[in-house]
């Protein structure tokens, strides 16, 4: 008989990396061993996607995590209480002993539920970054004491969690996975670039942390010497007022750099794979990034990548092998690396194949899910779990997390 495991996240405004990670794990979970039950908000596409896969789903909460503010340390307390109560109710009714949480709000709620259901074991995969407000970090320290295990997708992020007070005996590192290389390609694909044109893409919510201005500055330099290149930006505006202003600033910067005929903006599609398949290479210009999910999705499709060497990205991308890493904020170097790939189809092919090989070795969702299953088994049996992560391409030990809310200045290129 399959053992029930509860999976939960409260991100619902957009189907980003956190709910996608949850969805991938429950989709590829061995249903003969584990029965996934997912608790999530009614809003957003996640409940429908889960229903299409035949996954049992309970909906509760609003998922409006952005409402948690410094003036309201507990945020929408009613949501927190409703989610905690529902977790406890499911634990009792399903004889459930393990809940796998995917965001800080649900992690907190699950730890509260554990106060009333002592046998419940709480596991958290933290895909965030060290930008939490102080009051929330205090809450996390309390949660660390009640969790059975806290994992991060990169060693870089785990180092921060340990500095925040996590007991190293409860720590582990397990990367996110992707299935882009094994999905059946039944959807209609957009037309790829024709007549020798090369398409360079960037994907992500258009918010300051992603630093799209760096990408556009580099695009201007590349476009000046490569008339065959075109650029695609896939993303929507953020949720906060300053993020909405940033979105309009990026649209305005596209105009002021005379890139309107070279840059195309796309709303995030429900299925990213068809559009990503038309790219020749993918760029990431973020100044903070815990993992870089879109990077492994591009690599799974044999696309080389150019990315800033921040956060956990150097644990995903091997510089000079699967793509190029560039210093944070260095527009000129990013432009030079993009140009090298634009101008050399052979290099794109070689790096793309190496990227796919790396995905097969470390980030194949089937292998990643087997490791999660091994951890679930060990936790339910009361023994310690694995502490695994890719061994090569690791980020060097350094701390670039000070004052994370302030974007670093970047070098202006010589024009």
pLDDT digits (tens, 9 = 90+) for 147-181: 999 999 999 999 999 999 999 999 999 999 999 99
The answer to whether residues 147 and 107 touch, using CB atoms and an 8 Å cutoff, is yes
Q: Note whether 103 and 221 are same-domain residues.
A: no
The 3-state DSSP class for residue 343 equals helix
Q: Report residue 203: phi and psi, to 5°.
A: -130, 135
CATH of the domain at 97: 3.40.50.2000
Task: Identify the burial level of 270 via C-beta atoms within 10 angstroms of its C-beta, where 0-12 means exposed, 13-18 middle and 19 or more buried.
Answer: exposed
Q: State residue 374's pLDDT score.
A: 97
Q: Are 233 and 200 in contact (CB under 8 A)?
A: no
CA–CA gap between residue 307 and residue 299 (Å, rounded) = 12
Judge if 167 and 306 occupy the same domain: no
Residues 293 and 177: their CA atoms lie apart, in Å, by 8
Domain assignment present for 372? no
Helices (H), ranges, 362-413: 365-381
Query: Both 282 and 327 in a single domain?
Result: yes
* 230/127 same-domain check: no
CA dihedral sign, ordered 56, 59, 60, 62: positive
Report d(CA 315, CA 173) in Å as an integer: 11
Q: Both 161 and 287 in a single domain?
A: no
The pLDDT of residue 127 is: 81
Q: Does residue 226 share a domain with residue 154?
A: no
Closest listed residue to residue 146, CA positions, set 94, 93, 87: 87
Tell whether 395 is covered by a domain. Answer: no
Q: Does residue 40 sit in the same domain as residue 102?
A: yes
Residue with tokens 């503010």: 69
Same domain, yes or no: 229 and 321: yes
User: Residue 382 falls within a domain, yes or no?
Assistant: no
Domain housing 255: 198-360
Q: What is the DSSP letter of 199?
A: E
Domain assignment present for 400: no
Angle at 328 between CA 325 and CA 331, to 5 degrees: 85
Blockwise average pLDDT, block size 10, the chain, 415 residues: 93 72 96 96 88 94 59 63 93 95 91 94 84 71 96 94 94 96 69 78 94 98 96 90 94 97 93 94 95 96 98 96 97 98 97 98 97 97 52 38 37 42
d(CA 337, CA 222): 9
In a domain, 82, yes or no: yes
Place of tokens 């509260």: 112
* Concatenated DSSP letters of 95-109: T--EEEE-SHHHHHH
Exposure string for 17-28, b = 16+ CB within 10 A, e = fewer: bbbbbbbbbbbb
- Cβ(27)–Cβ(60) below 8 Å: no
What is the predicted pLDDT for the residue at 76? 61
Instruction: Give the count of alpha carbons within 13 A of 291, CB side only.
Output: 26
Q: Do 16 and 146 belong to one domain? A: yes
CA distance 300 to 59: 32
Residues 128 and 220 in one domain: no
Q: Name the one residue in this structure whose structure tokens are 């330099």.
A: 221
SS3 249: helix
- Give the Cα separation of 136 and 89 in Å (integer): 25
- Residue 368 placed within a domain: no
Instruction: Name 6's bridge partners.
Output: 37, 99
| Residue pair 174/389 in contact by the 8 Å Cβ criterion | yes
pLDDT (0 to 100) of residue 79: 79
Q: Is 34 helix (H, G, I), strand (E, B) or coil?
A: strand
Bridge partner list, 69: 72
Q: Tell me: do 31 and 162 sit in the same domain.
A: yes
Question: Are 123 and 214 found together in one domain?
Answer: no
Q: Per the structure, how many domains does the chain have?
A: 2
The two tokens of residue 240 are: 């906060």
52, part of any domain: yes
């Amino acid at each position: 008989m399959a053992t029930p495991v509860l999976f939960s996240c409260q991100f619902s405004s957009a189907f980003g990396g956190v709910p996608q990670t949850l969805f991938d794990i429950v989709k590829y979970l061995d249903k003969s061993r584990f029965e996934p039950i997912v608790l999530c908000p009614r809003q957003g596409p996640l409940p429908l996607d889960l229903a299409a896969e035949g996954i049992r789903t309970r909906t509760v909460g609003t998922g409006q995590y952005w409402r948690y503010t410094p003036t309201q340390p507990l945020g929408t307390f009613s949501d927190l209480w409703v989610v905690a109560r529902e977790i406890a109710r499911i634990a009792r009714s399903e004889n459930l002993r393990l809940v796998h949480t995917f965001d800080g709000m649900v992690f907190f709620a699950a730890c509260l539920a554990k106060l009333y259901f002592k046998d419940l074991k709480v596991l958290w995969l933290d895909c965030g970054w060290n930008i939490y407000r102080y009051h929330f970090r205090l809450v996390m320290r309390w949660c660390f004491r009640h969790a059975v295990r806290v994992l991060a997708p990169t060693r870089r992020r785990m180092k921060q969690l340990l500095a925040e007070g996590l007991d190293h005996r409860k720590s582990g590192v397990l990367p996110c996975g992707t299935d882009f290389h094994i999905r059946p390609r039944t959807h209609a694909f957009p037309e790829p670039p024709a007549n020798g044109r090369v398409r360079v893409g960037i994907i992500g919510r258009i918010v300051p942390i992603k630093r799209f201005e760096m990408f556009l500055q580099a695009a201007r330099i590349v476009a000046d010497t490569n008339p065959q290149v075109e650029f695609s930006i896939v993303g929507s505006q953020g949720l906060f007022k300053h993020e909405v202003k940033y979105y309009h600033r990026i649209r305005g910067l596209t105009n002021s750099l005379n890139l309107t005929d070279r840059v195309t903006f796309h709303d995030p599609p429900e299925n990213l794979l068809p559009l990503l398949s038309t790219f020749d290479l993918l760029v990431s210009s973020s100044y903070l990034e815990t993992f870089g999910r879109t990077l492994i999705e591009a690599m799974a499709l044999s696309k080389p990548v150019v990315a800033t060497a921040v956060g956990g990205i150097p644990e995903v991308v091997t510089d000079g092998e699967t793509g190029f890493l560039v210093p944070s904020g260095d527009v000129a170097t990013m432009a030079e690396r993009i140009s090298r790939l634009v101008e050399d189809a052979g290099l794109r092919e070689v790096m793309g194949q190496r990227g796919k090989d790396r995905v097969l070795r470390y980030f194949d969702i089937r292998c990643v899910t087997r490791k999660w299953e091994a951890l679930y088994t060990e936790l339910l049996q009361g023994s310690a779990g694995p502490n695994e992560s890719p061994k090569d391409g690791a980020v060097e030990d350094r701390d670039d997390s000070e004052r994370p809310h302030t974007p670093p200045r970047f070098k202006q290129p010589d024009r």
